[in-house]
Amino acid sequence: MSTSTSSAVKAAFDIEEIRAQFPILKELVHGKPLVYFDNAATSQKPRRVIKAESTYYATINANVHRGVHTLSTKATEAQEASRETIRTHLNAKHAHEVIFTSGTTASINLAANSLGQLLLKKGDEVVISGMEHHSNIVPWQLACERHGAVLKVIPISESGEWDFPSANQLISSSANRVRILAISHVSNTLGTINPVKELVAEAKKRGIVTVVDGAQAVPHLKVDVQDLGCDFYAFSGHKAYGPTGIGVLYGREELLEKMPPWQGGGEMIDQVTLEKSTWAKLPFKFEAGTPNIAGIIGLGEAIRWMNDYDLVAMAAHERTLREHATKELLAIEGLRIIGTAKEKVGVVSFVIDGVHHYDLGTLLDQQGIAVRTGHHCTQPLMERFGVSGTTRASFACFNTNAEVDAMVAATKKAVKMLR
Ligand code: C6P
């Protein structure tokens, strides 16, 4: 099991070399070669990640931080090596600022519960945006309800971007009641890359704690939490070529130290008596119970795998796919792209007059093409655009322009059948 980032970044972006590493791409769906365009829901996994997980189970399976025996030590070392890989990747100051969770949803719930308890009082405000995934809406609604705080929402423009002046106005309310700003780095539905650094800087001037949902950013952008200046950053392993059931909450040490634990149990304690307990040091205070050790090891390997490539070249490849798809799809009569921001990752969401997204998704599947249809867990955003759902193609580094052409041809065929 490799634990170090290989020093040499691969010189050229060789799509065939990349595709060869994803066993699933050889699968047929309804007898057709799989075209997988549902990477925003979950990305496919390179062989190295699959192997890292199975090697853990086959050779060092044991619980971590609990035993003196050899396997437990090896499992602990492999887990902590992953934490260090993620620390380096995010440019966090300390490894103990990297908390393992089961995914972005769990990371944001942790932040909302614990920060809510630490910071929110009656009449305080939490600011989110109108393009958030339900995972970055509902935990804050619950926290606001619990503490009598008020949820404020940054409006979204026709192109699918924050209305920045309104955002600034919301976080600089004259009463100075905003305590938390929780925003996504990249929209899962629109693909918009938000100017997080700029808004976080404005929030910081006012002492507002910032939480960034990075679920759709980590797979596509080089994220540097110190450069962004945010206090918290959440992401899921499974969207970044890693396993399901594992995620990260990065948190700034100073705040994590002050925050109460969210879940209680083994591993997160220092001393327990029947009367009261004291807490373990970071990061373990926030990691109650046996972690997803195989998932953590798999995630570390996924991040090392990504870092073997030039991430800028990967992003450029995905941008080319998105531009090609956008141009070709717009040639279909009655097709409208939802989300036309200048800065986007490889996501194309669209609606077609007279065609229901669910029917289109079903017909594309029959051609072996996997896209997501529906509201993408962003119902308020769907309401903002006056649609019940969209068809969404979301690209990863292993996708090709030929696959985009196959999707466009299949869409044209489906439209003929459905209109
Ligand atoms: N979006 C999509 O198809 P979990 O499920 O915890 O790994 O991630 C939740 C989540 C949070 N924020 C954003 C921006 C997301 O995109 C997601 C997951 C998937 O768009 C599944 S709904």
Based on the fold, state whether residues 384 and 262 are members of the same structural domain. Answer: no
Based on the fold, state whether residues 124 and 198 are members of the same structural domain. Answer: yes
Q: Answer whether residue 174 shows pLDDT above 80.
A: no
Q: Of 65, 83, 122, nearest to 248 (Cα)?
A: 83
Helix/strand/coil (H, E, C) string of 175-244? CCCEEEEEEECECCCCCEECCHHHHHHHHHHCCCEEEEECCCCCCCCCCCHHHHCCCEEEEECCCCCCCC
Q: Among residues 307, 322, 344, which one ends one of the domains? A: 307
Based on the fold, state whether residues 234 and 297 are members of the same structural domain. Answer: yes
The ligand 1 atom at the shortest distance from the C-alpha of residue 213 is 12
77 inside domain: yes
* Angle (CA) 250 282 253, round 5°: 50
pLDDT at 5: 44
pLDDT digits (tens, 9 = 90+) for 49-73: 999 999 999 999 999 998 899 999 9
Helices then strands, each counted (H, E), the chain: 14, 17
- Whole-number Å distance, alpha carbon 133 to ligand 1 midpoint, is 7
The ligand 1 atom at the shortest distance from the C-alpha of residue 103 is 6
Mean pLDDT of 224-235: 99
Based on the fold, state whether residues 29 and 63 are members of the same structural domain. Answer: no
Q: Is the pTM of this model over 0.85?
A: yes
285 inside domain: yes
Mean pLDDT, the chain, integer: 96
Based on the fold, state whether residues 64 and 185 are members of the same structural domain. Answer: yes
pLDDT digits (tens, 9 = 90+) for 106-159: 999 999 999 999 999 999 999 999 999 999 999 999 999 999 999 999 999 999
State if residue 104 touches ligand 1 by the CB under 6 angstroms criterion. Answer: yes
Q: Answer whether residue 2 shows pLDDT above 50.
A: no
CATH code at position 354: 3.90.1150.10
pLDDT at 389: 98
Which residues have a Cβ under 8 Å from the Cβ of 280 and sit 6 or more positions away? 267, 268, 269, 270
Based on the fold, state whether residues 232 and 168 are members of the same structural domain. Answer: yes
Report whether 227 contacts 81 (CB < 8 A). no
Q: Does 283 sit behind a cis peptide bond, omega within 30 degrees of 0 on the bond before it?
A: yes
Based on the fold, state whether residues 153 and 218 are members of the same structural domain. Answer: yes
Based on the fold, state whether residues 196 and 282 are members of the same structural domain. Answer: yes
CATH code at position 125: 3.40.640.10
Count of structural domains, the chain: 2
* Percent with pLDDT over 90 in the chain: 95
Based on the fold, state whether residues 212 and 353 are members of the same structural domain. Answer: no
pLDDT confidence tier of residue 9, bands split at 50, 70 and 90: confident
Which residues have a Cβ under 8 Å from the Cβ of 195 and sit 6 or more positions away? 162, 164
Round to whole Å and give the CA distance between 376 and 189.
Answer: 6
Based on the fold, state whether residues 247 and 315 are members of the same structural domain. Answer: no
- Whole-number Å distance, alpha carbon 43 to ligand 1 midpoint, is 12
10 inside domain: no
46 inside domain: no
Show the domain range for 342: 15-41+311-418
7 inside domain: no
Q: Among residues 289, 307, 325, which one ends one of the domains? A: 307
278 inside domain: yes
3 inside domain: no
Based on the fold, state whether residues 329 and 284 are members of the same structural domain. Answer: no
The ligand 1 atom at the shortest distance from the C-alpha of residue 188 is 16
pLDDT digits (tens, 9 = 90+) for 241-266: 999 999 999 999 999 999 999 999 99
pLDDT digits (tens, 9 = 90+) for 276-328: 999 999 999 999 999 999 999 999 999 999 999 999 999 999 999 999 999 99
* Percent with pLDDT over 70 in the chain: 98
Q: Among residues 277, 307, 337, which one ends one of the domains? A: 307
pLDDT digits (tens, 9 = 90+) for 350-389: 999 999 999 999 999 999 999 999 999 999 999 999 999 9
Q: Answer whether residue 202 shows pLDDT above 90.
A: yes
Whole-number Cα distances in Å, 178 to 194, 214, 316: 20, 22, 37
48 inside domain: no
pLDDT digits (tens, 9 = 90+) for 77-109: 999 999 999 999 999 999 999 999 999 999 999
Report whether 328 contacts 405 (CB < 8 A). yes
- Whole-number Å distance, alpha carbon 357 to ligand 1 midpoint, is 19
Based on the fold, state whether residues 23 and 90 are members of the same structural domain. Answer: no
pLDDT confidence tier of residue 1, bands split at 50, 70 and 90: very low
